[in-house]
Amino acid sequence: MLLGANVSMSGSAMFEGAVAQAVSYGANTLQFYTGAPQNTRRKPIEAMKIPEGLAAMKADGLSDLVIHAPYIINLGNTIKLENFDFAIRFMQAEVARADALHAYAMPFHPGAHVGAGAEAALANIIKGLNEIIQPDQQVLIALETMAGKGTEVGTSFEQLAKILDGVTHNDKVAITIDTCHLNDAGYPVATDFDGILNDFDHVIGLDKLAVVHLNDSKNPQGSHKDRHQNIGFGTLGFDVLNQIAHHPALHNIPKILETPFVGPDKQHQHAPYGLEIAWLQSQTFQPEALKALADSE
């Protein structure tokens, strides 16, 4: 089972430090942003300590590095087309960074139509991806299933399939499914995940599934909220997420936790990933352990 978490590549340790974080959680795969997801400021490739990070991954048995694209890039915006060229250039550079890091996949939020309608957004996303994607790139751009907050697109398998069908270099695009997003978009994750996978296989194809974001949800099915919750503490529950983590159809797919930090206040926050990974590996839910961590300073 490939199971990891979203970690941080920051400070002087950079890539090597991100690997050390993942190892401390008991992970065997990992995800990080190349910079803050809310902006496009990035360190040069030479400063990322890539040889050290790759050596650490090999030494500690980690594989299938996932690099998340920043979520402020909106290829679906046809209202402010003046931002489109910048988004293309930035994503081309982000692909180059991911390739330099030897990344396997890049989850990417498709975008939002901001009032122009889903069809206009989908067409613009296809146009953008056809400018970004090069035939010799290594990293897969893995379009993420979205919850439907605001005017987001990519909320159904049919919309994602339309984007995939429009991309020229189709072998360079794939899909990330997020369990919280699927639930909030209206899919019955808690009651019929096998049915969801069957639907995905018919509409897109399981061979296109590259990454799973394994998150509980704070909201009921169809809420369109996109609010992640810790494993076992949300509306999906531990048994459902444990089943997904161990699903035979997903065995070789990286499953990444993006659950909230916990703590008594904003100054004392702790990553839950070591506990959550241990629960999923042992298939034993111990909620009192997270509650104790949340109460600790």
Rounded Cα gap, residues 297 and 294, in angstroms: 8
Answer whether residue 10 shows pLDDT above 90.
no
| Average of per-residue pLDDT values in the chain | 97
Burial code (b: 16+ CB inside 10 Å, e: under 16) for 250-268 equals beebbbbbbbbebbeeeee
Q: What is the pLDDT of residue 37?
A: 87
In this prediction, residue 199 carries a pLDDT of: 98
pLDDT (tens digit, 9 = 90+) per residue, 234-267? 999 999 999 999 999 999 999 999 999 999 999 9
User: How many structural domains is the chain composed of?
Assistant: 1
Residue 74 scores a pLDDT above 90: yes
Q: Give the C-alpha distances (Å, rounded to integers) separating 280 from 27, 45, 165.
A: 11, 34, 35
Which residues span the domain enclosing 266? Answer: 2-295
User: Residue 56 corresponds to which tokens in the numbers above?
Assistant: 């650490």
pLDDT at 261: 98
Phi and psi at residue 137, in whole multiples of 5°?
-70, 155
In terms of C-beta density within 10 A (0-12 exposed, 13-18 middle, 19 or more buried), how is residue 10 classed?
middle
Stretch (H or E) spanning 173: strand 173-178
- Residue 38: band (very low, low, confident or very high) from pLDDT cuts 50, 70, 90: confident
**Residue 203: pLDDT above 90?**
yes
Count Cβ atoms within 10 A of the Cβ of residue 70 and give its class: 0-12 exposed, 13-18 middle, 19 or more buried.
Answer: buried
3-state secondary structure of 211: strand
Which residues contribute to the annotated binding site for Zn(2+)?
Answer: 68, 109, 144, 178, 181, 213, 226, 228, 258
289: pLDDT strictly greater than 90: yes
Average pLDDT over residues 57-61: 98
Tens-place pLDDT, residues 94-103: 999 999 999 9
Which residue is listed with tokens 């122009």?
A: 116
The CATH number of the domain holding residue 61 is: 3.20.20.150
Q: What is the mean pLDDT of residues 85-102?
A: 97
